[in-house]
Amino acid sequence: MNEFLMIVFGAMVILGGIATIISRDLFDKLISLGIIVAGIMPFLADRGLLDVLTATALIAPLSTIFILMAIRRRADEP
Amino acid sequence: MWQEFSIGVLLVFIAAVIAFFALVVEKDDLHRLLLLDLVEVSSLGIIALLGTDLAEALILPGLVVGIAELLALSQIYVIKEGFRDKVVQGLNIEVIQADAPLIISVLLICYGVVLSGFTGGGVAGLGVVFYFMARGHREHFELLEMASGISWATWIFAFFVFMFIPEYWMFALFLAAIGILLKVMVKLSLSATIWGDGNE
Amino acid sequence: MSPEFVLGLVLILIGTVASAFPRPKTYLVQLINLEIPAWGLLLVMLSYNEALALLTFGGVSALSTFIYVRVIQKREGT
Amino acid sequence: MNWPDIALALCGIIALYAAVRVVLEKDTMRKLPFLNVVSFAISGSIILLIPHPLAIVAAAAYFVGSTLESNAIASKYAGGPKNE
């Protein structure tokens, strides 16, 4: 991976982290968390850890789905 | 190398101090329970900075102790506050009601069996938990007990192989790995059923 | 210093601050902010090639999210 | 600079642009298509980074997982299944 790609994906990770912290809505927070995961994946691939990448890519959505269980749906709110 | 290590330890130590400070200031019990995970992450970070096989060997027991402690504390909290009999709902959305949980659970369990050992048990247990969460469960505790007994028997047998016929150590290693896989998977899938009420 | 290391440390720091003092002080906001230092720790482990610890940490963090969600659901009564 | 590098750089730029759009967008429902664009670009760059047969499996797993996640968020946001 050359320097340009490192800067691009690193910027994605930082951007997602800051957006996760500053946004107020729970759904917006979960979407920004998805950007962090997306920025991490090329770094995993660059090290050649393909087995870890496969497992992480399957586990990360499960974590989001577990959090979704506790969120009240939009229709119930006034 | 030394430079990198000292900078990392300094920053992670600052994070740990912030986490402990928040834990001291916090009054609400559930917020404290959540902060425990934060403390665990920063402490594991200090161990991970060692960066050798020793770190890997130290992180695995840390994770085991962490998940056991979390289960016990959450159960104590739920019983103490009297939420034991409160019925909770599962997730009721389209993606879960289709075939997605089955496929992902099967993928995770197969992958966990290939990995074997504690890591494989964790991955496979996660698949089982996800399936139970999505589809509901009936109480099959006798099956879980049987699996636990089988894993003990496999373990003892592997130990005897190590003791008496050491030339078959590879076979014994595989047996022990399968035993710990079964054990961890059963224990972790119990965490999905321990909450009393399913989501039928 | 590898880029994964720097990114992981930045994520651990900002995630710890955000999760220790969550802005709308609710349980779910704190739970979602808790994921940020977890991904940061994953990046730090990645920079040292600790593959086995990485895999186990991913599985265990998703499981602890599940336990927390169950406790929050019991507490809030949804 | 040969063609895989150019393709990789394009994937990175698309991913970063979509991520910025996701962050800047106000409406939650409008964020989700851009999240899908991010996952397309990342899957492409995973395959382009390592020329290995298993990379295709890994990219497919990431793509399936990311699509499942955004579908679950959209479904929960809209308020569950209709026929209830």
pLDDT at B200: 40
What pLDDT score does B99 carry?
76
Residues B13 and B46: beta-carbon distance below 8 Å: yes
Q: Are D73 and A64 in contact, with CB atoms under 8 Å apart?
A: yes
Q: What is the pLDDT of residues B2-49, one digit of tens each?
A: 688 888 889 989 999 999 999 898 888 888 888 988 888 888 888 888
CB proximity list for B28: less than 8 A, separation 6 or greater: none
- C71 and B74 Cβ atoms separated by less than 8 Å: yes
Contact between D79 and A45 using a beta-carbon 8 Å cutoff: no
**Contact status of D76 with chain B (Cβ, < 8 Å):** yes
pLDDT at C78 over 70: no
Q: Above 70 in pLDDT, residue A77?
A: no
How close, in Å, is residue C32 to chain B by CA atoms? 11
- For residue B27, what are the contacts with CB-CB under 8 A and spacing of at least 6? none
Tokens (6 digits) for C59? 């599985």
SS3 content of chain A, % helix, strand, coil (to 5): 85, 0, 15
Chains that touch D (3 or more CB pairs under 8 A): A, B
| Number of C-beta neighbours around residue B179 at 10 A | 23
Contact assignment for D35 to A35 by CB distance below 8 Å: yes
- Cβ contact (<8 Å) for C65 and A44? no
Report the percent of chain A where pLDDT is more than 70: 91
B124 near B108, Cβ under 8 Å?
Answer: yes
Is the CB of D72 less than 8 angstroms away from the CB of B92? no
Instruction: Express each pLDDT in C14-60 by its tens digit.
Output: 999 998 888 888 888 999 999 899 999 999 888 888 888 888 888 88
**Close Cβ partners of B143 (under 8 Å, ≥ 6 residues apart):** none
**Is residue C25 left, alpha or beta, with left meaning phi > 0 and alpha meaning psi from -120 to 50?**
beta
* Contact of chains D and B by CB distance (3 or more pairs under 8 angstroms): yes
What ipTM does this complex have? 0.86
Per the structure, the complete domain to which residue A29 belongs is given by: 3-76
Q: Is the pLDDT of residue B109 over 80?
A: yes
Cβ contacts of A41 on chain D, cutoff 8 Å: 42, 46, 62
Chain centroid to Cα A38, Å, comes to: 6
Q: Given a cut of 60, is residue B142 above it in pLDDT?
A: yes
Are the CB atoms for B48 and C50 separated by under 8 Å?
Answer: yes
Give the orientation angle of helix A50-70 with respect to helix D53-78, to 10 degrees.
10
Q: What residue spans define the domains of chain D? A: 3-78
pLDDT of residue B89: 65
Structure tokens at B144: 């879980």
- Distance from C-alpha of A1 to C-alpha of A3, rounded to nearest angstrom: 7
pLDDT of res. B26: 86
Q: How many helices (H) and strands (E) does chain D have?
A: 3, 0
How many angstroms separate the CA atoms of A36 and B42, rounded? 19
What is the domain count for chain A? 1
CA distance B72 to chain A (A): 20
**C33 with C18: CB under 8 angstroms?**
yes
D76–B93 C-beta distance less than 8 A? yes
Domain boundaries defined on chain B: 2-81, 94-193
- Looking at the complex, does the CB of residue D81 fall below 8 Å from at least one CB of chain B? yes
How many angstroms separate the CA atoms of B11 and B46, rounded? Answer: 10
| Chains D+C touching (3+ CB pairs under 8 Å) | no
Whole-number Å distance between alpha carbons of D78 and B140 = 35
pLDDT class for B167, splitting at 50, 70, 90?
confident
Q: Given pLDDT bands bounded at 50, 70 and 90, which one contains residue D84? A: very low
Q: Hey, what CATH topology would domain B2-81 get?
A: Helix Hairpins (1.10.287)
Residue B198 reports pLDDT greater than 60: no
pLDDT at A78 over 50: no
- Chain B touched by D54 (CB under 8 Å): no
pLDDT band of residue D83 (cuts 50, 70, 90) is very low
Q: Bigger pLDDT: B162 or D84?
A: B162
Cβ pair B104, A55 in contact under 8 A: no
pLDDT tens digits for range A16-38: 999 999 888 888 999 999 999 99
Dist CA C15 CA B156 (whole Å): 44
**Residue D37 is which amino acid?**
V
Share of chain B above pLDDT 90, in %: 3
Q: B200 or D62: which carries more pLDDT confidence? A: D62
Instruction: Report, as an integer, the average pLDDT of A57-76.
Output: 80
User: pLDDT, tens digit, for every residue of B48-106?
Assistant: 888 778 888 888 888 888 888 888 888 888 888 877 666 666 666 666 677 777 888 88
